[in-house]
């Protein structure tokens, strides 16, 4: 709940309208903090296709970072909430598949690493883009002492490096869960 409050009620939400880098923090809170926490309290009884969940959540994340889709979301309230719901919903689906009880630790950790890798790749593309991609952040970054390109590069770096922290924590917790099951002799 705290992650959702930070994303939607705190000053971060308003700041993310002005700065792309703040929007990146907002999205990281949704897909890498709130979604796995929600998924952990809504576990799957049987695992489904983790690959399909991974592909869908990846496509959703990348699609919303296409300039036309991103700018549409920041210029229309309905599209904005569609972006939030699809990002969070697809991420919850993905994490529920990762946390499925019969999923092997190797597969769960591999999926977690793959999820971070695709986010990191998107972050790298945004960091090294030769120009600012988002019209929605064309003027506001100047008020914060940044050019639109610098704001985008900062956002890309946040996706590329610090976003790895929640994924690393999740991978370690998955490994620990498997280690405890191994010691108890409960590994399937």
Nearest to 137 by CA among 18, 42, 27: 18
Mean pLDDT for the stretch of residues 130-134: 96
Query: 37 and 3 in contact (C-beta within 8 Å)?
Result: yes
SS3 content of the chain, % helix, strand, coil (to 5): 80, 0, 20
Residues above pLDDT 70, as percent of the chain:
98
Mean pLDDT for the stretch of residues 45-62: 91
Nearest to 122 by CA among 162, 171, 62: 62
Q: How many CA atoms lie within 13 A of 17 on its CB side?
A: 10
| 145 Cβ contact partners less than 8 Å away, ≥ 6 residues apart | none
What pLDDT, on a 0 to 100 scale, did the predictor assign at position 186? 65
Judged against a pLDDT cut of 70, whether residue 187 lies above it is answered with: no
Angle at CA 34, nearest 5°, toward 116 and 11? 105
Residue 135 pLDDT grade (very low, low, confident, very high; cuts 50, 70, 90): very high
Q: pLDDT, tens digit, for every residue of 157-172? A: 999 889 989 999 998 9
Tell me the whole-structure pTM to 2 decimals.
Answer: 0.90
What pLDDT, on a 0 to 100 scale, did the predictor assign at position 181? 72
What pLDDT, on a 0 to 100 scale, did the predictor assign at position 15? 92
Q: For residues 5 and 29, which has the higher predicted lDDT (pLDDT)?
A: 29
Q: How many helices (H) and strands (E) does the chain have?
A: 11, 0
Residue 48 pLDDT grade (very low, low, confident, very high; cuts 50, 70, 90): confident
Query: 97 and 111 in contact (C-beta within 8 Å)?
Result: yes
Task: Please tell me whether residue 34 adopts helix, strand or coil conformation.
Answer: helix
Q: pLDDT, tens digit, for every residue of 2-25? A: 888 888 888 888 899 899 999 999
């Amino acid at each position: 709940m705290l992650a959702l409050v930070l994303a939607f009620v705190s000053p971060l939400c308003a700041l993310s309208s002005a700065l792309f880098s703040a929007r990146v923090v907002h999205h990281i809170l949704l897909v890498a903090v709130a979604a796995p926490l929600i998924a952990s309290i809504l576990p799957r009884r049987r695992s489904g296709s983790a690959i399909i969940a991974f592909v869908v959540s990846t496509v959703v994340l990348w699609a919303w970072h296409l300039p036309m889709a991103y700018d549409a979301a920041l210029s229309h309230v309905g599209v904005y909430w569609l972006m939030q719901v699809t990002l969070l919903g697809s991420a919850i689906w993905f994490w529920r598949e990762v946390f499925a009880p019969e999923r092997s630790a190797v597969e769960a950790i591999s999926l977690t690493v793959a999820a971070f890798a695709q986010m990191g790749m998107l972050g790298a593309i945004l960091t090294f883009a030769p120009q600012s991609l988002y019209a929605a952040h064309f003027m506001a970054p100047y008020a914060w002492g940044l050019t639109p390109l610098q704001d985008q590069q900062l956002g890309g770096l946040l996706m590329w490096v610090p976003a790895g922290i929640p994924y690393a924590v999740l991978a370690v917790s998955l490994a620990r869960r498997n280690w405890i099951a191994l010691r108890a002799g409960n590994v399937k």
